[in-house]
Amino acid sequence: MNESERILAEAVEALEKALSKDPMNGPFLYGMAALLALEGKPAQAMKYLKQAESLGVNGSTLRRWLSQKFPAESLP
């Protein structure tokens, strides 16, 4: 694991802990979606993005980035 991957993994772990305490926090959910997208996990990212959007977070920029970066069949 290189340095960037380690930092991303630590950030995901920190957000997982935060979400376990506050699972309806839209910005936390959006952050998790962004981190998972950077890790190359678009399906998981979309799951969190949809939850964040359902709480009023504007996910259009990340949604657009995901659709440009990953093939449509990898997005739910």
| Fold of domain 3-74 | 1.25.40
Reported as half-sphere exposure (CB side, CA atoms, 13 A), residue 33 has a value of 26
Model confidence pLDDT, tens digit, residues 20-55:
999 999 999 999 999 999 999 999 999 999 999 999
Helix (H, G, I), strand (E, B) or coil at 27: helix
**pLDDT category of residue 70 using cuts at 50, 70 and 90:** confident
* Other C-beta atoms lying within 10 Å of the C-beta of residue 49: 24
- Helices (H) then strands (E): counts for the chain: 4, 0
For residue 5, give the amino acid letter.
E
Mean pLDDT score, 4-30: 97
Q: Please report which confidence band the pLDDT of residue 73 belongs to, taking 50, 70 and 90 as the band edges.
A: confident
pTM for this structure? 0.90
Q: Across the chain, what does the average pLDDT equal?
A: 93
Domain ranges of the chain: 3-74
